[in-house]
Amino acid sequence: MILMKDIVREGDPVLRTRAEELTFPLTPEDRQLADDMLQYLINSQNPEIAEKYNLRGGIGLAANQVNSLKRMFALHLEDEKGELISFVAVNPRIVSHSVEQTYLTSGEGCLSVDRAIPGYVPRYARITAKFHTVDGEEKKMRLNGLSAIAFQHELDHLNGVMFFDRINDKEPFAEIENATPYER
């Protein structure tokens, strides 16, 4: 079971390192890691379990954050239509995206960052993503709203990028071109 002590924090070089592509079939260890990452998110969103184990709630988790440079991340969230978006993405990529941007009006946070960093983080409003499941099956998915924002936050982790890298440092709340804000 992944706990907060297993989550790497800001300053650790693993968060600034590009994660490596996986080949199929995954090893039993890599499958276990995928399961554990998704389970962390599920547990962290369950009030009783989160309190018992002191888990900070999350909707996404990238392998870098648990000190592994494997190209995979987990997402577990309910989108604006009330649909459950829950999967592990292996070797994910964005194959196309909208010109329109979006950003969380409340800004972003990160399980690897123990401080609040104010500012808008520009993201594509809509993306078409491709990735492999843990079984090696190729998936193509259109995402928008919160799920698109979260996918981009996680893909950034796999590339060694942190959300605050994308904040305008002179004017953190400067208006973002072509953007429709996302109110959570």
Distance (Å, whole) CA 72 – CA 62: 6
Minimal distance, residue 25 CB to ligand N9Y, in Å: 26
Distance (Å, whole) CA 157 – CA 72: 10
Stretch that binds Ni ion, among 31-39, 108-116, 125-133, 137-145 (CB under 5 A): 108-116
Q: Which of 10, 51, 100, 154 is catalytic?
A: 154
Closer by beta carbon to Ni ion, 24 or else 60: 60
Q: Which of 127, 129, 160, 182 lies closest to 14, judged by CA?
A: 160
Minimal distance, residue 15 CB to Ni ion, in Å: 9
Decide: is 41 part of the binding site for Ni ion (CB under 5 A).
Answer: no
Minimal distance, residue 123 CB to ligand N9Y, in Å: 8
Report residue 6: phi and psi, to 5°.
-85, -10
Cα angle vertex 141, ends 36, 109, to 5°?
A: 55
Minimal distance, residue 166 CB to ligand N9Y, in Å: 11
Closer by beta carbon to ligand N9Y, 30 or else 108: 108
Closer by beta carbon to Ni ion, 110 or else 125: 110
Amino acid at 81: K
Report residue 101: phi and psi, to 5°.
-110, 175
Decide: is 110 part of the binding site for Ni ion (CB under 5 A).
Answer: yes
Give catalytic status of residue 175 as yes or no: no
Name the residue whose CB lies closest to Ni ion: 110
**Which residues here bind ligand N9Y, judged by CB under 6 A?**
56-62, 65, 108-112, 146, 149-150, 153-154, 157, 184
3-state helix, strand, coil in the chain (%, to 5): 30, 25, 45
Site size toward Ni ion (CB under 5 A) is 1
Query: Contact residues for Ni ion (CB under 5 A)?
Result: 110
Q: Which residues are catalytic?
A: 154
